[in-house]
Amino acid sequence: MPGPPQHVASVELRERLRSARRVFVLTGAGVSAESGVPTFRGGGQSAVWKGMPFEVISSAAMVERDLPAVWEWFDYRRGALGECRPNPAHLALARWQDRFESLTLATQNIDGLHAAAGSRGVLELHGNVWTARCLRCAAREDLRRLGQRERPPACPACGDPMRPDVVLFGEMLPMDVYALAAERAADCELCFVVGTSALVYPAAGLPAIARRAGAYVVEVNPEPTPLSGVCDEVLQGRAGEVMPMLETGG
């Protein structure tokens, strides 16, 4: 069992950071929220957009029923990103790729801020709001390069309609991405869970995979979560403050 939450890394964690070769990091909405990205959830109430609950407009059923409305919602979400930029947590994690022999960064966020910070090979478990995917041939296109204003956009490969390339309510995570994340979690020595409530499965099960494989599991969050009691160490604080601190020895 972990000790009480603390604001600085323990001696053991500092030593593990110095010697670790394989590190796995799972990030969630709390990291993006520090950049001003709206979570569209929280406060005990369901978000509503144009009279439709978040769970309805962001659902697989709505893609079937009213694809243009889904695009309108996700265009609004991209607009809400506005001037959001990577924060110190994103930047610290990007630098970690040159610090460890192997760093796997998996995220539940869809805003692309990890890549914008310079992280490479990010495992985007829930997709990316800046990408469209063809309903027919599954071709993917970066909306910033696609340049089409029509909604839904037409697939450059086959001409069929495209949808936002994100995991919607009623859909499974992309299994190839999740399988790779699970494989890396099972092989890591250190696992960090940063800015997530650890409630959304199956992504929230990744820290358990790491722990069962013998990894030292560290949570970074301003508030306790359901995961806190099973972590080896809990660093209570904002990701943008804690992650850069870990670069300097905690």
At 172-221, the pLDDT tens digits run: 999 999 999 999 999 999 999 999 987 778 888 999 999 999 999 999 99
* Catalytic residue flag (residue 126): yes
Task: List, by residue range, all CATH 3.30.1600.10 domains of the chain.
Answer: 38-83+129-166
User: Is the pLDDT at 43 greater than 50, yes or no?
Assistant: no
CATH for 11-37+85-126+172-247, options being 3.40.470.10, 3.40.50.1220, 3.10.350.10, 3.30.300.210: 3.40.50.1220
What residues does CATH 3.40.50.1220 cover in the chain? 11-37+85-126+172-247
- CATH T-level fold of 38-83+129-166: SIR2/SIRT2 'Small Domain' (3.30.1600)
The Cα-based distances of 228 to 85, 179, 195, 208, 210 in angstroms read: 28, 24, 12, 12, 15
pLDDT in tens, 115-159: 999 999 999 999 999 999 999 999 999 998 887 789 999 999 999
Q: Which of 7, 90, 114, 126 is catalytic?
A: 126
This prediction has a pTM of 0.92
